[in-house]
Amino acid sequence: MVGITGTPGTGKSAVADELRSRGIAVLDLKTTVAPYVIGRDASRDADEVDAEAWADEFPYHEGYLEGSLAHFLSCDKIIVLRCRPDILRDRLAPRGYTAEKIAENCEAEALDVILSETVEMFASEQVYEIDTTYKEVKSVTDLIVSFVDGKTPSSFGTIDWSEYLMP
């Protein structure tokens, strides 16, 4: 079970589409959370999911999983996609997100929120962090497949976007 996680806009769906184009099945985790939605946060324009209950009941799935909650699952390997906050803002703007939601996601990315959560839950050899800021989707996908196949070692913790926290 291989998870692909990251802040919205880092390239998870694009990578999942590329994997599918290569004949590799990928489960979109958004399709699995509906029974665990416990409310709607209108101020954040987001569903509130009981991630703990969802993860506890999630069955083992052979193959790739894609979604911003993948790092809550008991994956064998986990890939964290990252994107520089100013570029992430440009990627999120066309999605119709509110300014607050865009700012929240950019701040989460600058603070390494998903990476920090991931590193707390997995052994270091299970985690692979990729900066997607200027990489082509095919290149990112090649890196993921290489890591999953054991040809590329674990790597994380070298990206620092804390400078984007200051106005």
Provide the CATH number for the domain around residue 90: 3.40.50.300
For tokens 């999942």, the residue is 16
Provide the CA 75 distance to its chain's centre, in angstroms: 13
- Over residues 156-162, the mean pLDDT reads 92
In a domain, 139, yes or no: yes
Q: Would you say residue 74 lies in a domain?
A: yes
3-state SS of the chain: helix, strand, coil percent to 5?
A: 45, 20, 35
Instruction: Tell me the HSE value of 11 on the side-chain side, using a 13 A CA sphere.
Output: 24
Q: What is the CA radius of gyration of the chain?
A: 15
Domain that holds residue 113: 2-30+60-158
**pLDDT average, residue stretch 159-165:** 88
Q: How confident is the model at residue 167 (pLDDT cuts 50, 70, 90)?
A: low
128 occurs within a structural domain: yes
**Structure tokens of 116?**
């920090």
pLDDT at 162 over 90: no
**Residue 107, domain member (yes or no):** yes
- CA dihedral of 101, 104, 107, 108, whole degrees rounded to 10: -110
Percent of the chain beyond pLDDT 90?
88
Q: Is there a domain that residue 133 lies in?
A: yes
Residue position matching structure tokens 């964290």: 80
**Three-class SS state of 65:** strand
Please indicate, yes or no, if residue 163 is contained in any of the structural domains: no
Which of these, 56, 95, 91, lies nearest to 73 by C-alpha position?
Answer: 56
Report yes or no on 13 lying in a domain. Answer: yes
Based on the structure, what is the number of domains in the chain?
1
On the question of pLDDT at 19 being above 90, the answer is yes
Instruction: For residue range 95-117, list pLDDT tens digits in order.
Output: 988 898 999 999 999 999 999 99
167 domain residue, yes or no = no
The answer to whether the beta carbons of residues 82 and 118 sit under 8 Å apart is: no
Look at residues 135, 19, 157, 20 and name the one whose alpha carbon lies nearest to residue 80: 157
